[in-house]
Structure 1
């Protein structure tokens, strides 16, 4: 029952509260209107419009690798990381491969819009 025993509060001898006849005095009073105004003035970061999402089948190893790279700070999201990797790959294509890619990607894009 040692835990249930209450110890008397230690008094420092000096009151931590100071009462004045007029009430509580605040030295650095903050005006609520100035806070509201500053919040309105700070513009929220503009988000690009959300694209339609889809799922792709990848191995657990690939998923873990992508998430690990995002955690390391290589990109903000897996989608951003994949965009970067795809861009790097496209830049390495030969011109004839680039034309073929553009045709195939254009057909897939038209199909998705229909």
Structure 2
């Protein structure tokens, strides 16, 4: 590296008109093979994988595998189909945005089997 400072944008995400009053940063560790299960959040969540890897899928989109250093975005009130630790487990930082007088919430989503 020849430059004294190098800046690389890893993720740029527009947000709706929701007012952000607070950000809560959490370090979360998932043991190998733990399935987070389908869920949604009441506010947007941004994150970065610190160690390990995660199977990640948003609202029926393509499934990806997030590795150390990868960033992710979970939109508010949108189904997260998968956020599951791989065989190596994972530790990540999650940045939970919330509005005035709100606390970040995760709501499990129960899928009904198709006939």
TM over 0.5: no
Higher strand share: 2
Could you state the TM-score of these two structures normalised by the residue count of structure 2? 0.23
Q: Which has the higher Rg, Structure 1 or Structure 2?
A: 1
Could you state the TM-score of these two structures normalised by the residue count of structure 1? 0.23
Higher helix share: 1
